[in-house]
Amino acid sequence: MARSDLALARVRSAYERRHVIAALRGVVLAGALVVVTIALHRTTQMTWLVAAALGATLATYGWRGGAWRRGGLAGVLAGVPVFIAPTIYFMLTRGHCPQCATTPSLTCVLVCFGTSSAVGALVGHVALRDDSPRRFALGAISGALLTGLLGCGTVGFGGAAGVIAGLVAGGLTGWVVGSRTAHA
Render pLDDT for 146-182 as a digit per residue (tens, 0 to 9): 998 887 766 666 667 777 777 777 767 666 665 655 5
Task: Please say whether the beta carbons of 61 and 127 come within 8 A.
Answer: no
Q: Indicate the pTM of the whole model.
A: 0.81
Looking at residue 179, its pLDDT comes to: 60
- Residue 20's domain spans which residues? 2-183
The pLDDT value given to residue 13? 86
Task: Give 40's contacts (C-beta < 8 A, 6+ positions apart).
Answer: 84, 87, 151
The domain total for the chain is: 1
In the predicted model, residues of the chain with pLDDT beneath 50 are 99, 184
- The pLDDT value recorded for residue 83 is 86
What per-residue confidence (pLDDT) applies to 39?
84
User: Percent of the chain at pLDDT above 70?
Assistant: 82
- The SS3 of residue 76 is helix
Phi then psi dihedrals of residue 131, to 5 deg: -65, -35
Q: Is there a contact between 123 and 74 (Cβ–Cβ < 8 Å)?
A: yes
Helix, strand, coil percentages in the chain from 3-state DSSP, rounded to 5: 90, 0, 10
